[in-house]
Amino acid sequence: MKNLPLLDSLDSPEAAKVQQTYEMMFMQWRIFLEEMKDHAAFSRILWIAAPDLSMACARLRFGDAYVDSGSQCLHLQLAERSFAGVFDDTNPSTWLIRHPRSYQTRLGFTKNRFAARPQQPSDIHASAKFYESALTQLLALLEKAHSGFDSPHPAASS
């Protein structure tokens, strides 16, 4: 979505449209991942979630009105709900590695301290430090691969 709509409730008609958009996007990803597994040598896929924009970058890209509205938190909840609906644990060979919620501000954006180049707010990239938790989770999952990879989906870190 180029311009993210302001949301004031998860139950609004606008939120339902947003959720439908997220569901379609995740369904496209699911189809892609299933095709990848069907036509390649992959039996399991580990997916590391992309970071949200830093607060400074979000202000530059979306504007203060959107950032300060709290809409991002609602967008994140709708995206998580949509992801869970599309990847509903029927496919235990696809794993989502999430980033700790403690990396987010109360408005739903990544804390500025995790920006790759804080002095350049237009840079959308996160720093290497941001990925430490994801890599720790990834290494733990790879260790489990030797024992059959049978554990449930990893929960979101808090």
Could you give the CA distance from residue 131 to residue 157 in angstroms, rounded to a whole number? 13
| Per-residue pLDDT, 100 | 92
Average pLDDT on 1-25 reads 89
| Per-residue pLDDT, 156 | 42
Q: Which residues have a Cβ under 8 Å from the Cβ of 99 and sit 6 or more positions away?
A: 49, 51, 130, 133, 134, 157
| Per-residue pLDDT, 3 | 72
Average pLDDT on 136-152 reads 72
The answer to whether the beta carbons of residues 71 and 6 sit under 8 Å apart is yes
**pTM value?**
0.81
At 40, the pLDDT band (50, 70, 90 cuts) reads: confident
Higher pLDDT, 63 or 154: 63
Query: Quick check: 117 pLDDT over 90?
Result: yes
At 96, the pLDDT band (50, 70, 90 cuts) reads: confident
At 157, the pLDDT band (50, 70, 90 cuts) reads: very low
What kind and span of H or E run contains 94?
strand 94-97
Computed over every residue of the chain, the mean pLDDT equals 85
How many CB atoms within 10 Å of residue 67?
A: 21
Which amino acid is residue 96, in one-letter code?
A: L
Higher pLDDT, 134 or 94: 134
Query: Quick check: 150 pLDDT over 60?
Result: no
| Structure-token pair, residue 81 | 């709900």
Q: Where are the alpha helices (DSSP H) in 39-122?
A: 55-62, 64-69, 71-86
Query: Quick check: 9 pLDDT over 50?
Result: yes
Percent of the chain scoring above 70 in pLDDT: 86
